[in-house]
Amino acid sequence: MKTNSESFHSILNNVAKHITLTAAEKKFFCSLLRVKKLRKRQYLLQAGDVSRFEQFINTGALRAYYLDEKGHERIVQFGLEGWWIGDMASFFSGLPATLTIEAMEESELFQIERNDFDVLLDKVPKFERFFRILLSNAHIAHQRRLVSHLTGSAQERYLELLAKYPAFEQRIPLRHIASYLGVTPEFLSRMRKRLTKKK
Amino acid sequence: MKTNSESFHSILNNVAKHITLTAAEKKFFCSLLRVKKLRKRQYLLQAGDVSRFEQFINTGALRAYYLDEKGHERIVQFGLEGWWIGDMASFFSGLPATLTIEAMEESELFQIERNDFDVLLDKVPKFERFFRILLSNAHIAHQRRLVSHLTGSAQERYLELLAKYPAFEQRIPLRHIASYLGVTPEFLSRMRKRLTKKK
DNA sequence: AAATTCCATTGATGTAGGTCAAGGAGATCA
DNA sequence: TGATCTCCTTGACCTACATCAATGGAATTT
């Protein structure tokens, strides 16, 4: 665990988006965090294990996916610097996780453990609000994504994704983007070709 | 507002699934509820309005949907007796709702108003836990549904839906089920034909 | 009871996206 | 240095699902 306060800059900024903390509260919050480093391809969480942590991504890139019956990965979320990632269901319920989370690049995370989380909410109730907003945002994001699957074509979804996160195109391998969009790598490859031709 | 305690039986049962209340707390909780009756086709909430209530369905059936750019309805949730329904995002944030919610049958709901909701959480903190579980369950349900769109065929999704909620087949009109599944009514009609033939 | 509207069904045809198989370019390793 | 592996691309063919148009029955209005 680091004590260098500078390193928590990013997570404090993130929290400050929704609630305002005193200096003492910031210090307390940071004291509950632990730093976790992951190598490329390393698991943060495997389906079946209980997720004891929620985490904030300081640097790096991760992906969270389900495995379907045929063993295919279905990516439900990417995570980059400044995002929270975890299996909230498992974290809150204590039941085994259904998601697997894996680093796509070398990454550095800040983790908060389940017990410390309860302590935090107890001592600084503002965090109730913070995490409810986080959960509610995640909920809305899923709802929107579901609708874009009900409504639009794969190409529309791909363009939406690129518009929202232009960095993805360079940074995230094709097959992972395909899995996120719900198409085969072959089809995404063709789509890209079609799109570059049109220019 | 009703005071007949018998009528709140269903919602108290629902709450009891996750937290245990004293008699006094039950009474207090019920005192914050108001009864809302809806005719068939009546709106509970229209996109653009702020959702001031969350609601529990005592009797009846509702549907919650987005309108896409072309004006098509995309159903994201059904609600039957014993379920909660609302636009949580709008309820918590105070921003305009993105969902429209409409009664498919004559329905009776119990509503809790946003201010009363805060009072409730303040006086009976157990409800923090209750609503976090609710939100987290909704989140998981959406995640699963998203995955079933990424993974499976419309027929698989239809069969899953029927397996989970056999009542839907008789009770909910074909075009609404089609919208929920993300297919055209024509295609769902053909699917049903195919499925009945197979028997 | 007729008129009107809404809705499920069916047919004909078109298209987005899947599957399978092969080849090639970059990494990683011996 | 070549050998193996992983990943992207491309081609040929197939299928799930959409679109459009027509029909008839059920429900709602007059």
Give residue numbers, 147 to 176 of B, with CB < 7 Å from strand D.
Answer: 153-155
Q: Is residue A147 part of a domain?
A: no
Query: Taking CB atoms and an 8 Å limit, are B150 and A89 in contact across chains?
Result: no
At residue B128 the predicted structure's pLDDT band, cuts being 50, 70 and 90, is confident
How far apart CA A94 and CA B34 sit, in angstroms, is 34
Between CA A180 and C1' C25 the distance (Å) reads: 25
Asked if A135 and B133 come within 8 Å (Cβ–Cβ), the reply is no
In 3-state terms, what secondary structure has residue A112?
Answer: strand
- Give a yes or no: residue A113 inside a domain: yes
- What is the count of structural domains for chain A? 2
Q: For chain B, first and last CA: distance in Å?
A: 50
Residues A25 and A109 in one domain: yes
Looking at per-residue confidence, does A25 or A132 come out higher? A25
Predicted confidence (pLDDT) at residue B93 exceeds the cutoff of 80: yes
Give me the pLDDT at residue A199, please: 47
Q: Are B96 and B47 in contact, with CB atoms under 8 Å apart?
A: yes
Query: Which of A68, A135, A142 is closest, CB to CB, to B143?
Result: A142
Q: Check A136 against B68: CB less than 8 A apart.
A: no
Whether A198 shows a pLDDT value over 70: the answer reads no
What is the dihedral sign for C-alpha B102, B106, B111, B113? positive
3-state SS class at A76:
strand
Q: Are A120 and A157 within one domain? A: no
In-domain check, residue B33: yes
Question: Quick one: A129 and A172 in the same domain?
Answer: no
A123: its two tokens:
């001592």
Q: Three-class SS of residue A33?
A: strand
Q: Is residue A122 in a domain? A: yes
Domain range for residue B85? 5-126
Residues in chain A, total: 199
Chain A residues with a Cβ under 8 Å from any Cβ in chain B: 66, 68, 72, 74, 76, 88-89, 92-93, 98, 128, 132-133, 135-136, 138-140, 142-143, 145-147, 149-151, 179, 182
Please state, in angstroms and rounded to a whole number, the distance separating the CA atoms of residues A98 and A117. 21
> Which residues of chain A have a CB within 8 Å of the CB of B145?
146
Burial of A38 (0-12, 13-18, 19+ CB in 10 A): buried
Question: Among B88, B132, B151, whose Cβ lies nearest the Cβ of A74?
Answer: B151
Residues A33 and A122 in one domain: yes
Give A4→chain B minimum CA distance, Å. Answer: 33
Residues 6+ away with beta carbon under 8 Å from A180: A75, A76, A78, A161
Domain assignment present for A141: no
CATH code of residue B69 = 2.60.120.10
The pLDDT tens digits for A30-82 are 999 999 999 989 999 999 999 999 999 999 999 999 987 777 899 999 999 99
Q: Give yes or no: residues A108 and A199 share one domain.
A: no
Q: Are residues A156 and A127 in the same domain?
A: no
* Residue B172 CB neighbour total at 10 angstroms: 20
Shared domain check, A81 and A156:
no
pLDDT band at residue B6, thresholds of 50, 70 and 90? low
Same structural domain for residues A42 and A70? yes
**Which residue approaches C15 most closely, CA to C1'?**
A153
Which tops the pLDDT comparison, B92 or B173?
B173
A192 touches strand D (CB under 7 A): yes
Hey, what are A191's tokens? 């789509």
Domain boundary among A134, A162, A190: A134
Assess whether A184 (CB) lies less than 7 A from strand C.
Answer: yes
Q: Per-residue DSSP letters for A160-180?
A: HHHHH-TTHHHHS-HHHHHHH
Long-range contacts of A195-198 (CB under 8 A, 24+ apart): A195/A155
Mean pLDDT of all residues in B155-173: 94
Q: How far A107 CA sits from the closest chain B CA (Å)? A: 25
User: Does residue B70 surpass a pLDDT of 80?
Assistant: no
Same structural domain for residues A57 and A98? Answer: yes
pLDDT in tens, B18-50: 999 999 999 999 999 999 999 999 999 999 999
Digit-coded pLDDT (tens) for A133-156: 898 888 888 888 998 998 889 999
pLDDT-based confidence at A2, cuts 50/70/90? very low
Is residue A139 assigned to a domain? no
**A144 within some domain:** no
Q: Is the pLDDT of residue B2 over 50?
A: no
The answer as to whether A143 is a domain residue is no
- Residues A114 and A171 placed together within one structural domain of the fold: no
Residue B199 pLDDT exceeds 90: no
pLDDT of A1 > 60? The answer is: no
Nearest residue to B86 via CA among B103, B99, B105, B75: B99
Q: Say if residue A124 is in the same domain as residue A168.
A: no
**A15 and A93, same domain (yes or no):** yes
- As a whole number of Å, the CA-based R_g of chain A is 18
The per-residue b/e assignment along A127-164, b for 16 or more CB within 10 angstroms, e otherwise, is bbebbbbbbbebbbebbebbbbbbbeebeebbeebeee
Compute the radius of gyration of chain B from its Cα atoms: 18
- B93 contacts A139? CB cut-off 8 A: no
